[in-house]
Homo-oligomer: A and B are copies of this chain.
Amino acid sequence: MKLSRIAEELSGILEGDGDIDILGVSTLEAANNGDISFLTNSKYMSAAKKTAASALIVGEDCPPLGLPFVRHRNPYLAFAKTVEIFHKPAARKPGLHPTAVIADSAVLGKNVSVGAYCIIGEDVRIEDDVEIRERCTVHHHVKIGSGSLLHSGVIIREGVVIGERCVFQNNAVIGSDGFGYARQEDGGWYKIYQAGNVIIEDDVEVGAGSTIDRATLGSTVISRGTKIDNLVQVGHGSVVGSNTLLCAQVGLAGSSRVGNGVILAGQVGVAGHLTIGDGVIATAQTGIANSVEPNKLISGSPSYDHKTWLKSSLINAKLPQMYKSLKELEKQVDAINKTLNVLPEK
């Protein structure tokens, strides 16, 4: 495809020869002649200078690099759309595989696809254009909104409600029992029946192997546009806001309240019954033990201000030396006091 045509499709500004043919899209390092690549972060400038790509998608501030550009206000989004120009997911034919076990009371919309060895339970309602790949289990009374996609192996437990255009990666489990027990006098744990459900709003994605527990009463809620990575645990009764990112292996304990536009990086843990304000960012492995005000950038376990944490982290390695210095100072001050025969006011 001509570079000028790509610029047009991306609504970007062409700089340089628009007549060159672009054959593919690639990373800066792996690009060959004929590829378009992208530079969205100036820390990869040196890779950009060495790339074999024939053209680059860049932001508004990028200096000339001797090869044609497609400039865009949001170059990473333009890159995402470029990937789709060159790579199209194989279209699936709608239809129900003969091995799918579908309850008579289930209601399926138009253009629904159900793969081999899927199980669709009683009173399930599946809207138009939903694609359910191989070996999924959709338990009774589930609703799935139009255009949603379940990759193979996904399990949706009874009563879960799923919005439109959601994506579930393989082996995700939605609606497993919450971890709720009452302690008995003999030390044993009495299981609390988990009577609630899970509500997943529109445009949510859930990663492979992630688990979202049903509420004891009421609903665990994942709000519109939120993206959840692999092996994430969402405890029962948690409410996660809109357009939030939960990166891989994040764990939310029960009844967490996570705001809108929050980013919890990999392996972050959130204790139960907390509120995390809108726009909070927690770096990897942060342990959040208390509620967090909106728009804070936090780190550490337990968490505090990220910039302070960065400084404190550098000092961690100096602690043994600090301890030694402190002991030495105490001795010196003691000696001085003895010499002066002065005692400080207490």
Q: Which residues of A contact B (CB under 8 A)?
A: 25-27, 30, 74, 76-77, 79-80, 83-84, 86-87, 89-90, 97, 99, 101, 115-117, 119, 134-135, 137, 139-140, 151-153, 155, 157-158, 167, 169-171, 173, 176-177, 179-185, 187-193, 195, 203, 205, 207-211, 213, 216-218, 225, 227, 229-231, 233, 235, 237, 242-243, 245, 247-249, 251, 253, 260-261, 266-267, 269, 271, 283-285, 287, 289, 300-302, 304-305, 308-309, 311-313, 315-320, 322-323, 325-326, 329-337, 339-340, 342-345
Contact = CB atoms under 8 A, between A and B. Distances in A.
A237 B208 CA distance: 16
Nearest to A283: B289
Q: What's the number of copies of this chain in the assembled complex?
A: 3
Contacts of A77: 182-184, 190
A142 to B, nearest CB: 12
Nearest to A311: B320
Contact of A315 (B119, B176, B195, B320): B320
A27 B336 CA distance: 61
Given A152-B137, A189-B225, A285-B301, A177 B169 contact: yes
A89 to B, nearest CB: 7
Given A190-B80, A208-B211, A315-B320, A342 B337 contact: no
A340 B337 CA distance: 11
A253 B283 CA distance: 12
Contact of A188 (B83, B243, B253, B309): B243
